[in-house]
Amino acid sequence: MRIVVVDLGKKIQQRRELLGLLQAQLAALSGVSTRTIQLVEQGKGNPSLQTLIRLADPLGLRIDLLLKQPINTEQ
């Protein structure tokens, strides 16, 4: 069985770091708590679509691009 996984947290973290932003700075720009950003980046959070939209904007990402490029895994 093939499962398609989109590693949102990893993408958000890579983009944030590319822009030279700290988690606290992204939190201030997005209105999302630093703790939520930490959880999302660690793959432990389950962000709502609204949260993803709020994070994507200051990162200069469109939400559809954030959700693209899945990682395929085999089980």
Q: Which CATH superfamily is domain 2-74 in?
A: lambda repressor-like DNA-binding domains (1.10.260.40)
- Tens digits of per-residue pLDDT, 39-62? 999 988 888 999 999 999 999 988
- Tens digits of per-residue pLDDT, 7-26? 888 889 999 999 999 999 99
**H/E/C letters for each residue in the chain?**
CEEEECCHHHHHHHHHHHCCCCHHHHHHHHCCCHHHHHHHHCCCCCCCHHHHHHHHCCCCCCHHHHHCCCEEEEC
| pLDDT at position 75 over 50 | no
| pLDDT at position 71 over 90 | no
